[in-house]
Structure 1
Amino acid sequence: MQRVVKILKVVLPILIVAFLGYIYLSFNHAKTPHRKEPADGETSARPGDKSVAKSEKFHDVQTIGGRVVMEIAATRVVAFESRWNTLEGVSMTIYRANGLTYQLSCPNAEFNSDTKESNAKGGVKLVSSDGVEIHTAEIHFDGNRLTNDIPVQFRIDRWNGNAGALDLDVAGETLKLSKQVTAAMTPAQPNEVPMTLQGAESIFHRRENTVTFNNAVEMNRGPEHVKADFVIGRFTQDHSRLIGLDGNGNVNIVMSGNPAPGEDLGGRKEIFCDNFNTEVGPDGQIAAINARGAATQAHAILDGPPKRDIVAWTFRVALANRAVHELKADTQVVMKELGPAPRDVKAEHVTVNFNPATHRASSAYLEGGFHYTDPKNTASAFRANYDIDGDRILLTTDPGWQATVVSDGNVLKAKQIEFSPRAQTARATGSVIAELASKGKQPTVSADATNLFPAGKPVYVNSDELMMRQANRVAVFTGNVRAWQESNTLLANEMQVTGGGDQITAKGNVRTLLYNTGDPKRTVPVKSTSDQMIARKNDRRIDLTGNVSIVDTPRTLKSEKAAFFFDDNKKIQRIEAENNVNVADGTTQRKGTGDKAVYQVDKKMIYVSGSPATMTDPSGSIAGQQIVFDLTRNRVQVVSPSEETKGTYKHSG
């Protein structure tokens, strides 16, 4: 395109002016054998203007230092009293010192010797030896500007183009083409992509090495397509290479929208913005596009599946081998993933990376006020790494802050959370805080309204790590686990919640504090420790195994196994223990042993049985098949229906 500027701005006016001026001077001062006076003094070329001289078959060759520099010919030359001169069958060749030649021809021309104004008519043609060819019906030169208001066609090397009008400021070296300008570059190599540019008008600034297109500008280059109100191209000083392309006003940029047959560029990528500029690599190819919003945010649409709709104030799209390999969006970014399960992602800065093989979005890094939303989940953090292919999102924060995920009503907070929306899994590490609650009709992992946590309120859990599988309704907490609801508390090394609290399992140094007894005046909990605990919601029981110790102040029950049983109101009804049972009452200093014990909490009765069951206190000892502790009456009863009762116990009552 810059060679078009060079020819139209410099060579063409020089040729026309030099040619017409030289013919005039040659005609008036050279004594040619063909010169003669006109017969009637008037010709049809200029009605009303009287001819004063005429020449047929004009031809001349000019040399400088023995080198031919110009050859001029015309079939007819007429001079008029008005100082206008007409020429017919015009042709001229200029021979430049660098070896190039320029040939100009037209059927008719006229030149004013006083004003230097001239016109070439009837079809002007300019051809150069280095591949330049320009056609137009006529051109007018007023001494400063070369203009016409009719179509101009040109071919410059690989470029072919046309325009509806021409206006060239010779002194200012500025060319304006208008009335719909179109230029097309044909490929030089089999794998090269053709490019076309068009607009309502274009202006070539040779001194500034720029070309501007105005009004409804369009550029097409294979899979790329650009529309804008204004586009400016910047070139190197020798005009051989594009170094930048800028544009503004209703900009629409399409990338990978029209791939070659059999070519997969990962689907269409489209940007709408107020202005843009390009970054051009050393090879002259566009390496990146920077798009910006002014009155409104810029807007990008990426083909899917799923289709992504992104708004931001600025975009940078990096290109490699005609395909997008990175997209950066900055300031108030919102990325929407459309489809059956739509997702919204917000952040201050977003970088989307594309798979080099498929050219589709494969991952994203999001930083600054990250927020995520889909029909089932919400999440927030300072930053996130989004594995698009693997459907995993890793949330991280700065010290003093926590990442948060809310899934089906459950709230999860931690220093780091990795979750998969589609697989409905979440892994949290570092100062984990979880809120488990059943909300609505959607089944979810929850622990409220159970025997362990009886109130219909959220259960809160602290731990070092958490693995949650929402699809299977399983949550596993590990490391320094603490779960609580109001005053009821569970501590353990590990806790697993299944379903809506259908089963809660705890392992490793398990401790519980239970306040849900039938005594409304109770102010201290029933405490327990064990190696393992299993709470079954439907069975209305909690099972403890391994080094079991249950404290209902002032009494303690120890065994290898024990179970809490609850009534319909989820109040502790009784406790059953077996294997190496020991019962101790701190107030009465009574101690009992046996194989099994049943503690009727609501009736304040303890039944210890064994072979034998024993009881000791300061008053003595006793053994039998069953010993009954009546806590309300402070009495002990021995029941041995088939064996002898033994002991030294002295009853004081």
Structure 2
Amino acid sequence: MLRLAWPRVVRAVLAATLILVLAVILVYLISHRRPPTVVPGKAAEIPAQQVEKQEGIEHLEFRGDRTIHVKAGSWHRGEDGLFYLEKDVEVRDLAKKGGREVFISGDRVIYDKDWSTARLEGSAKVRYGDLQFESSDFDYKKADDVLSTEHGVVISSPKLNGSSSRMAYSFKDEIIRLEGSVSLQAKGESAETAPFVVNGSVLTYRRLERRGRVEGNAGFSLGESHGGAEAIDFRVTDDEKYLLDFTLAGRAQASLVGDRETAGGNPVFSRVHEIRAEKLDGRAFLNTNKVHSLEARGGCFMDTHTPDGRPVRVRSGEMLFVFDRWGGLREFRALRGANLVERGADARIARTISGESIIVEGPGDVLRVAAKDGGEARVDSAENEITARAIELAPRTEDIYAAGNVKLLLKARTEVRESVGFFSGKQPVMAVSGTLSYERQVDRLILSEGARMWQGKQMLSAGEISAQRDTGELRGAGRVQAVFPRAAKKEGGQEERLEVGGDNLSFSPKERLLSYRSGCWLKTQNASLTSDHIDVFMPGEDNAVTTIEAGGRVVIVSGQREGRGDKALYDLDKETIDLTGHPSLTDKVKGVIEGDKLTFHLGDGRIQVENRDRERSVTVIKS
């Protein structure tokens, strides 16, 4: 058994030794293997300075966290010590993850050893992220990290387009400066939205802030709308697709144009607004290049037209415009000394509106005019003039409301105006009241809170006066009083006046009759009368009073005598008052006298008493 085991032990030891030798050889071969042979391109790197020229350059260089890939048809070192890449040059600077790629292409790139300066010539293009610059040449300075050109540039991106004669772009701060024939456009995204375009002599755009400034003959356009100023500041949305807001400063002007089909609903102004001021501040609707609001400050003017084409100019210290999405004027405010002038087809002034402020709301549903402290708001037209603390016009209905120390002038016209009550249309009529309202549909004028109207020395006062402009009807309520002047009886004598009043009044132009009801009274220079109702007859075209009738508990007082009856008739030409209806006369000296008729002779103070049922008798009582 021992002889049989020995050979097995020897074989095992030999096998182990062989495995160990093979392992040592394998380790040696692996640790000492030769690198594989790589066939290089025409140039593995940009040649060292001793190489003067090489064709077909392609180079990949790693610089920190960036990778630079260069391709060109040829490379050489010039006598000036600079290096030249020529023929279909492409340089791609690949940023680390999350950074922006820089791509340069052109006919030639000239650079120094450290790339501290470089120049790109011939169909030059530089793309940085989504922004591309095109020019005949560009210069780059590494110290400032600025790309520039003096020979015209075109800028493009999915969001912005622009051009100018000169450009400087800071890669570090992402600031674009354009000079000479500058234009920059924010495209927008919707086909319904017009691009926002600015132009001028110099433009600085800070891309990180999405903010820009244009100077020197600065201008902007938004579809049909446009404007200009000495300088324009603007901001765009974070995605650079839409305008956010803008400011025009220094002799600013803007022409804002609404949509033809939808902006014509304003009854005050047309869809076109020409605006001038020292400064204009505008804001756009969200995600659309359409103006939402515009504020004007300093010497503001706005020129427009009424919907039917009549010219309108508004001026004030400040203005505010608020538009709807279709460019229709939704609200307008003229502040700090506002004045509106509306001209007729013949260019003559048809209406003026003035006050501390003019506000149009609605759009155009209400036009409000307000006065400053101690001042007046005014509406002046060919037909009338209204002043008050506040005036409201309803342009759609042509209604008017005024309040606070109201003054009204109804103007005389060459063509005969309808009379206002018993006031002639041939002469102006003045009025004052606490409030005024005019309803165009029914052509009715109402003066309230202490109303008073007069024409010459003819006057009417009441708590409220209502006049129908179309028919000439007149009504009054609340302590109504009318004053009618009367010529002196004798030449050189003193003018007299007749006063008639009551709780309520109505005037019928057809009958030429002025009727008082309830608490009525009459006063002449020589007598006074009270009754339940009084009718004043004014048959002539000159509205002169000829006869007055009084009825119901008539009381006449003349001097120390008092007459009572049911009815009185006052004949102004004869200067007599006939008292009938069981009349009686009370005299402090003679007692009570009764008769069928009492006649008061106002001229000499006589009273005539008539009796008809018994033996006809006439008694005359002298003053």
2:247 maps to a residue whose letter is: N
Distance 1:331 1:633, change over 3 A: closer
**What SS is found at the alignment partner of 1:95?**
strand
Which residue pairs with 1:123 in the alignment?
88
Which residue pairs with 2:103 in the alignment?
133
Aligned mate of 1:385, from 338, 341, 359: 359
1:354 maps to a residue whose letter is: F
* Structure 1 residue 348, shift from structure 2 partner: 0.8
* Structure 1 residue 372, shift from structure 2 partner: 1.3
2:550 maps to a residue whose letter is: A
* Structure 1 residue 517, shift from structure 2 partner: 5.1
Alignment partners' CA distance in 2, 1:652 and 1:425: 58
1:504 maps to a residue whose letter is: L
Distance 1:526 1:216, change over 3 A: same
Alignment of 1:502-541 (within 5 A): 502-516=472-486, 519=489, 521-541=493-513
Which residue pairs with 2:70 in the alignment?
104
Please state if 1:298 is matched with 2:234: no
Which residue pairs with 2:469 in the alignment?
499
Alignment partners' CA distance in 2, 1:592 and 1:233: 97
* Structure 1 residue 414, shift from structure 2 partner: 1.3
Alignment partners' CA distance in 2, 1:522 and 1:538: 33
Contact 2:533 2:550 in 1 (8 A): yes
**What SS is found at the alignment partner of 1:572?**
coil
**What SS is found at the alignment partner of 1:271?**
strand
The one-character-per-residue Cα deviations of 1:215-266 (angstroms, maximum 9, x if unpaired) are 222222232222222211124xxxxx244201122322123x2xxxxxxxxx
* Structure 1 residue 436, shift from structure 2 partner: 2.0
Alignment partners' CA distance in 2, 1:202 and 1:613: 108
**What SS is found at the alignment partner of 2:52?**
strand
Distance 1:458 1:73, change over 3 A: same
Give me the identity figure in percent.
Answer: 18
Please state if 1:577 is matched with 2:550: yes
**What SS is found at the alignment partner of 2:546?**
strand
* Structure 1 residue 202, shift from structure 2 partner: 1.4
The one-character-per-residue Cα deviations of 1:496-552 (angstroms, maximum 9, x if unpaired) are 122178223211011222214574734342122201122344543322111110011
1:250 maps to a residue whose letter is: N
Which residue pairs with 1:489 in the alignment?
459
* Structure 1 residue 278, shift from structure 2 partner: 2.0
Contact 1:495 1:504 in 2 (8 A): yes
2:574 maps to a residue whose letter is: K
* Structure 1 residue 622, shift from structure 2 partner: 4.1
* Structure 1 residue 458, shift from structure 2 partner: 2.8
Which residue pairs with 1:613 in the alignment?
583
Please state if 1:289 is matched with 2:246: yes
Alignment partners' CA distance in 2, 1:463 and 1:211: 65
Distance 1:234 1:119, change over 3 A: same
**What SS is found at the alignment partner of 1:439?**
coil
Which residue pairs with 1:92 in the alignment?
59
Which residue pairs with 1:353 in the alignment?
322
2:220 maps to a residue whose letter is: I
Alignment partners' CA distance in 1, 2:156 and 2:377: 54
Alignment of 1:124-523 (within 5 A): 124-129=89-94, 131-141=101-111, 145-186=117-158, 194-206=159-171, 209-220=174-185, 221-222=187-188, 223=194, 224-235=196-207, 241-255=208-222, 257=223, 268-279=224-235, 286-293=243-250, 296-303=251-258, 304-305=263-264, 306=270, 307-319=272-284, 320-322=286-288, 323-338=290-305, 339=307, 340-355=309-324, 358=326, 360-375=328-343, 376-441=350-415, 447=420, 451=422, 453=423, 456-470=426-440, 472-499=442-469, 502-516=472-486, 519=489, 521-523=493-495
| Count of residue pairs the alignment pairs up | 546
Distance 1:117 1:650, change over 3 A: closer
Distance 1:135 1:609, change over 3 A: same
* Structure 1 residue 73, shift from structure 2 partner: 6.3
Contact 1:516 1:572 in 2 (8 A): no
The one-character-per-residue Cα deviations of 1:254-282 (angstroms, maximum 9, x if unpaired) are 23x2xxxxxxxxxx532222211124667
1:231 maps to a residue whose letter is: L
Which has the higher mean CA deviation after the structures are superposed, 197-206 or 100-109? 197-206
Alignment partners' CA distance in 1, 2:54 and 2:204: 40
Distance 1:574 1:107, change over 3 A: same
Contact 2:412 2:425 in 1 (8 A): no
Distance 1:568 1:431, change over 3 A: closer
Distance 1:606 1:163, change over 3 A: same
Alignment partners' CA distance in 2, 1:577 and 1:218: 86
Distance 1:283 1:147, change over 3 A: closer
The one-character-per-residue Cα deviations of 1:70-91 (angstroms, maximum 9, x if unpaired) are xx168xx996xxxx82221111
Distance 1:132 1:149, change over 3 A: closer
Which has the higher mean CA deviation after the structures are superposed, 531-540 or 360-369? 531-540
Aligned Cα RMSD in Å?
A: 3.3
Distance 1:344 1:421, change over 3 A: farther
Which residue pairs with 2:572 in the alignment?
601
Distance 1:530 1:454, change over 3 A: same
* Structure 1 residue 104, shift from structure 2 partner: 0.8
Alignment partners' CA distance in 2, 1:327 and 1:440: 44
Structure 1: runs of 5+ lacking an equivalent? 1-55, 61-71, 187-193, 236-240, 258-267
Alignment partners' CA distance in 1, 2:214 and 2:438: 50
Contact 1:622 1:647 in 2 (8 A): no
Distance 1:219 1:254, change over 3 A: same
* Structure 1 residue 629, shift from structure 2 partner: 3.1
* Structure 1 residue 352, shift from structure 2 partner: 1.4
Alignment partners' CA distance in 1, 2:425 and 2:499: 18
Distance 1:209 1:435, change over 3 A: same
The one-character-per-residue Cα deviations of 1:102-150 (angstroms, maximum 9, x if unpaired) are 21111112113x7422222111012344544322111234777533552
Which has the higher mean CA deviation after the structures are superposed, 544-553 or 373-382? 373-382
Distance 1:326 1:57, change over 3 A: closer
Alignment partners' CA distance in 2, 1:209 and 1:627: 107
Structure 2: runs of 5+ lacking an equivalent? 1-39, 96-100, 189-193, 265-269, 344-349
The one-character-per-residue Cα deviations of 1:157-194 (angstroms, maximum 9, x if unpaired) are 333442222233444443223443222222xxxxxxx3
2:316 maps to a residue whose letter is: A
* Structure 1 residue 563, shift from structure 2 partner: 1.8
Contact 1:518 1:571 in 2 (8 A): no
Which has the higher mean CA deviation after the structures are superposed, 137-146 or 330-339? 137-146
Alignment partners' CA distance in 1, 2:555 and 2:321: 65
Alignment partners' CA distance in 1, 2:358 and 2:118: 61
* Structure 1 residue 647, shift from structure 2 partner: 10
The one-character-per-residue Cα deviations of 1:355-402 (angstroms, maximum 9, x if unpaired) are 3x6563211222111111224421111123221514312222332111
Contact 1:622 1:648 in 2 (8 A): no
**What SS is found at the alignment partner of 1:150?**
strand
Which residue pairs with 1:14 in the alignment?
none
